[in-house]
């Protein structure tokens, strides 16, 4: 698609994101919510909707939903009720879904996204609580469908944005940010592969400058951030092409085919679904007191964007470093744990975002599983800052030893393995003389005024000493020696 054509139109995107809350039990009964159990094993009579069973609201789920709203700057609805959304589906045993209808627990709010073209606050519409349905699998048997009701009744929040995004990239960032927040505040694992976070993308286009919304299509059940991006890109292009050909866009529900990154229609949207909502008579309305909401606010951890700002302001870290440290809660927590032991903020950040991040990625662990203690790291950094140990030796030779033993110390490892930097002049001079003798031409050039060559000699000494030479000292001695040589000529 040519950019000129895309430049003529503006895409409008609104997302509905379902997030499974990580409560131990379901929204209205004590059945386990754990993922991956044998099909149909977490199904008490309540989940199975046997006649006469009654729901009981899970307090933790309410707490999680309120926390999410607070983290996103939403208004918290103090008066809540649940409603029955009536429809028939094989994996919905009750014949209705219990959901919030006119009183979503959180209203408004924003999510900050950063794209190549800058930072934007994406407006949210609301967040409501509801229960998940069971899971139908159509591809096990050719002529029948398997229904697993373990998931039925799992607590969800549905996060509905305003139609306020305009590129696939923005939508992608929005989902990433929501995933980060729910993980950060500990209300969901945000795991898209396991279906803990699922997204429906509503897409429309309009001529640039128009204010009315165009006819939208809704792509259902996108289960990875990549697919969200691809589906939206495809939809925008499809709609632009159709409009250019003079074809009318129909309001449709569509599905994404990840094999070729296209979408296809599954149904034309019925004019208005009539779910015959009515207040759930078996659940009392829920009033949230001011005190309750305030107490949850106090429990919230510092949020990533606030921490990021703090790291930039208080520790003079770059925006990039601060972002890296706040990429995951576990990383920020680790950084915070090192702070009481060291004031070398930039060095701590470099270790975390460099060798330690590399190690955790490689071993597929999080920073909370990292065996390196904050003290061990702080001590290693101190040795480097004091000029006793070189960073690359520390990260390549000392760190692996430290990671094997919580009680090991950098100084002991570096001493026993003879890795400490030396500022012993006799030793240094051996390497310095060797470097000078090796490059007589460069020495000449240096003495004729090309002082920048000092780095070359220093580098050579570093190589010869295998990183053990104290380079500060080396530079001083080198400068003296080279000056002497010039004078002796
Ligand atoms: P429904 O529940 O029927 O899907 P809603 O009106 O609640 O419909 O909208 C659902 C989502 O679709 C919201 O995120 C909203 O921002 C988005 N949306 C609504 N109209 C449009 C449109 N014309 N273009 C893009 N997104 C839209
Ligand atoms: Mg919808």
Task: Determine what percent of the chain is predicted with pLDDT higher than 70.
Answer: 98
Task: Compute, in angstroms, the gap from residue 229 CA to the centroid of ligand 1.
Answer: 17
Q: How confident is the model at residue 2 (pLDDT cuts 50, 70, 90)?
A: low
135 CA to centre of own chain: 27
Q: Considering only CA atoms, which of 188, 218, 214 is closest in space to residue 200?
A: 218
Neighbours of 472 (CB within 10 A): 11
Do residues 352 and 327 make contact, with C-beta atoms less than 8 angstroms apart? no
**Could you give the CA distance from residue 416 to residue 317 in angstroms, rounded to a whole number?**
35
Neighbours of 146 (CB within 10 A): 15
pLDDT mean across residues, the chain? 94
- Please report the domains of the chain, with CATH numbers, ordered by start residue: 3-292 (no CATH), 302-416 (no CATH), 425-487 (1.10.10.410)
Neighbours of 284 (CB within 10 A): 10
Task: Compute, in angstroms, the gap from residue 200 CA to the centroid of ligand 2.
Answer: 7
CB of residue 25 inside a 6 A radius of ligand 1:
no
Q: How confident is the model at residue 27 (pLDDT cuts 50, 70, 90)?
A: very high
**Could you give the CA distance from residue 251 to residue 274 in angstroms, rounded to a whole number?**
17
Do residues 43 and 86 make contact, with C-beta atoms less than 8 angstroms apart? no
Task: Determine what percent of the chain is predicted with pLDDT higher than 90.
Answer: 79
235 CA to centre of own chain: 25
Q: Which long-range contacts (CB under 8 A, 24 or more apart) does 299-303 make?
A: 299/67, 300/67, 300/70, 300/71, 300/185, 301/184, 301/185, 301/186, 301/329, 303/71, 303/181, 303/184, 303/185
Q: Considering only CA atoms, which of 469, 447, 446, 445 is closest in space to residue 458?
A: 469
Q: How far is CA 316 from CA 103, 323, 332, 380, in A?
A: 44, 13, 16, 21
CB of residue 266 inside a 6 A radius of ligand 1:
no
| CA atoms 261, 267, 272, 274: torsion sign | negative
Q: What pLDDT is recorded for position 410?
A: 94
Count of alpha carbons within 13 Å of 337, Cβ hemisphere only? 16
Q: Which one-letter DSSP state was computed for residue 355?
A: I
The number of the ligand nearest the C-alpha atom of 174 reads 1
Task: Compute, in angstroms, the gap from residue 23 CA to the centroid of ligand 1.
Answer: 29
Q: How confident is the model at residue 1 (pLDDT cuts 50, 70, 90)?
A: low
**Could you give the CA distance from residue 114 to residue 130 in angstroms, rounded to a whole number?**
30
Q: What pLDDT is recorded for position 418?
A: 85
Q: How far is CA 243 from CA 153, 167, 306, 385, 396, in A?
A: 42, 18, 43, 63, 58
CB of residue 14 inside a 6 A radius of ligand 1:
yes
Count of alpha carbons within 13 Å of 389, Cβ hemisphere only? 25
- Element of type H or E holding 255: strand 252-257
Q: What pLDDT is recorded for position 251?
A: 94
> What atom of ligand 1 comes closest to residue 203's alpha carbon?
25
Q: What pLDDT is recorded for position 330?
A: 95
Q: How confident is the model at residue 341 (pLDDT cuts 50, 70, 90)?
A: very high
pLDDT at 83 over 90: yes
Q: What pLDDT is recorded for position 468?
A: 84
CB of residue 210 inside a 6 A radius of ligand 1:
no
Q: What pLDDT is recorded for position 489?
A: 64
Q: Which residues, in sequence order, are CB contacts of 263 under 8 Å at separation 6+?
A: 217, 219, 231, 234, 235, 238, 254, 255, 256, 257
Reported as a single tens digit per residue, the pLDDT across 245-286 is 999 999 999 999 999 999 999 988 766 678 999 999 999 999
Give Rg (Cα) of the chain.
30
Reported as a single tens digit per residue, the pLDDT across 194-230 is 999 999 999 999 999 999 999 999 999 899 999 999 9
Which amino acid residue places its CA nearest to atom 5 of ligand 1?
160
Mean pLDDT of 101-124: 94
Task: Compute, in angstroms, the gap from residue 484 CA to the centroid of ligand 2.
Answer: 80
Reported as a single tens digit per residue, the pLDDT across 125-172 is 999 999 999 999 998 999 999 999 999 999 999 999 999 999 999 999
Q: What pLDDT is recorded for position 267?
A: 87
Q: Considering only CA atoms, which of 52, 147, 105 is closest in space to residue 293?
A: 105
Q: How far is CA 168 from CA 23, 240, 426, in A?
A: 32, 14, 63
Do residues 208 and 10 make contact, with C-beta atoms less than 8 angstroms apart? yes
CB of residue 12 inside a 6 A radius of ligand 1:
yes
Q: What pLDDT is recorded for position 426?
A: 84
Q: What pLDDT is recorded for position 471?
A: 84
Do residues 462 and 471 make contact, with C-beta atoms less than 8 angstroms apart? yes
pLDDT at 439 over 70: yes
Q: Considering only CA atoms, which of 177, 174, 173, 166 is closest in space to residue 205?
A: 166
Terminal Cα-to-Cα distance of the chain (whole angstroms): 70
């Amino acid at each position: 698609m040519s950019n000129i054509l895309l430049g003529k139109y503006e895409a409008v995107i609104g997302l509905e994101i379902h997030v499974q809350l990580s409560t131990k039990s379901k929204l209205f009964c004590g059945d386990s919510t754990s993922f991956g159990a044998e099909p149909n094993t977490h199904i008490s009579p309540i989940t199975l909707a046997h006649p006469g069973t009654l729901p009981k609201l899970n307090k933790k789920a309410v707490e999680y939903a309120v926390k999410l709203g607070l983290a996103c700057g939403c208004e918290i609805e103090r008066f809540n009720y649940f409603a029955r959304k009536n429809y028939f589906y094989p994996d919905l045993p009750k014949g209705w879904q219990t959901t919030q209808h006119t009183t979503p627990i959180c209203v408004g709010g924003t999510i900050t996204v950063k794209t190549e073209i800058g930072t934007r606050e994406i407006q949210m519409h609301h967040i409501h609580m509801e229960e998940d349905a069971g899971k139908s699998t159509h591809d096990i048997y050719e002529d029948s469908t398997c229904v697993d009701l373990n998931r039925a009744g799992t607590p969800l929040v549905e996060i509905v944005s305003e139609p306020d995004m305009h590129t696939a990239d923005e939508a992608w960032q929005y989902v990433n940010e929501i995933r980060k927040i729910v993980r950060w505040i500990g209300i969901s694992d945000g795991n898209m592969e396991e279906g803990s976070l699922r997204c429906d993308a509503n897409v429309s286009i309009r001529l640039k400058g128009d204010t009315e919304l165009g006819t939208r299509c809704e792509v259902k059940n996108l289960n990875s951030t990549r697919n969200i991006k691809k589906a939206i890109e495809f939809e925008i292009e499809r709609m632009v092409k159709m409009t250019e050909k003079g074809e009318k866009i129909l309001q449709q529900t569509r599905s994404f085919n990840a094999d070729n990154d296209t979408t296809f229609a599954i149904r034309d949207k019925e004019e208005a679904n009539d779910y015959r909502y009515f207040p759930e008579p078996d659940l009392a309305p829920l009033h949230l007191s001011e005190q309750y909401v305030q107490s949850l606010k106090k429990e919230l951890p510092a949020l990533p964007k606030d921490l990021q700002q703090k790291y930039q302001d208080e520790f003079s870290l770059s925006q990039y470093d601060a972002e890296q440290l706040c990429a995951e809660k576990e990383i920020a927590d680790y950084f915070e744990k090192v702070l009481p032991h060291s004031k070398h903020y930039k060095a701590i950040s470099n270790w975390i975002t460099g060798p330690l991040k590399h190690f955790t990625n490689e071993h597929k662990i999080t920073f909370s599983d990292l065996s390196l203690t904050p003290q061990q790291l702080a001590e290693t950094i101190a040795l480097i800052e004091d000029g006793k140990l070189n960073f690359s030796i520390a990260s390549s030779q000392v760190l692996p030893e430290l990671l094997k033993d919580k009680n090991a110390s950098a100084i002991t490892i570096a001493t026993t393995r003879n890795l400490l930097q030396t500022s012993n002049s006799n030793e240094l001079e051996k390497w310095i003389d060797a470097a000078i003798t090796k490059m007589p031409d460069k020495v000449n050039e240096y003495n004729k005024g090309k002082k920048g060559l000092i780095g070359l000699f220093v580098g050579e000494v570093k190589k010869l000493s295998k990183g053990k030479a104290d380079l500060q000292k080396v530079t001083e001695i080198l400068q003296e020696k080279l000056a002497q040589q010039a004078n002796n000529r």
